Amino acid sequence: MSTTTDVVTLSDRLTGRVKWFNNKAGYGFITVTDGDRSGSDVFVHHSVINVENQQYKYLVQGEYVEFVLIKTTSGDHEWQASNVSGIKGGKLMCETRHDFKVARSVYKSDKPDEEDVPPAPRMPRQQRAPREESDKSEVRPPRQSRAPRARGEGPREAKDGEKKEWTLITKGPAKPRGRKPVAPAEAK
């Protein structure tokens, strides 16, 4: 990134949409969506992203952001984004994802201990121990079992219950595919 010397800042905050951002490299581009520079791409570095808590800073492709344009005299890019934040001071997606992960981990830790115990390993049907008398009192509905059907093969039986007879239809000789053979030219 360029040095902070010889920098001109435009005070107006602009809105833009993240064109792409490489999380590993820590930089990307924002397409300006308003103002005189609408449609132009602006370089953005992870060091200028503003987040509330210290965390891994990144932008998500398609995310809308607000930023200030800085004109640099040194470096590869004439204009760079600075002071990047969410729209109207809101959170960026990297912050909301982080908050969601924290909330989810807190929720999981608040669950009762009964649910934290892993279920007992299940044995295959043939090896299961016989049921005790207390288990027999439970009534389970009978299972509906159907044989799997291949797609497009039609019904196995007619709807009225009568069996249908299948017949095999043989096809005629196969037509040749591709070009017709060319007869060799006769010598004159």
pLDDT tens digits, one per residue of 46-78 = 999 999 888 889 999 999 999 999 988 877 888
With a CB cutoff of 8 Å and minimum separation 6, the contacts of 93 are 59, 60, 63
**Per-residue pLDDT averaged across 93-108, rounded?**
82
Token readout for 174 is 């196969």
| In the block, residue with structure tokens 């397409």 | 31
Question: What structural domains and CATH numbers belong to the chain?
Answer: 7-96 (2.40.50.140)
- The predicted structure's pLDDT at residue 4: 46
The pLDDT of residue 130: 58
Q: What is the pLDDT of residue 85?
A: 94
Contact 16, 79 (CB under 8 A): no
Higher pLDDT, residue 67 or 103: 67
* Phi, psi torsion values for 60, nearest 5 degrees: -110, 135
Kindly report the pTM of this predicted structure: 0.50
**CB–CB of 19/29 below 8 Å?**
yes
Query: pLDDT per residue over 13-34, tens digit each?
Result: 999 999 999 999 999 999 999 9
Helix, strand, coil % (nearest 5) of the chain?
20, 25, 60
**pLDDT value at residue 112:** 59
pLDDT at 72: 84
Higher pLDDT, residue 78 or 42: 42
Is it the case that residue 113 has pLDDT exceeding 90? no
Token output for 180: 């017709």
Q: Please tell me the predicted confidence (pLDDT) of residue 177.
A: 77
pLDDT tens-place string over residues 167-184: 788 887 877 777 777 777
Tokens of 36: 């005189």
Q: What is the pLDDT of residue 2?
A: 47
String of b and e for 74-85 (b: at least 16 CB within 10 Å)? eeebebbbbebb
* Integer CA distances (angstroms), 172 to 131, 139, 167, in order: 61, 59, 16
Q: Token match 């892993």: residue?
A: 118
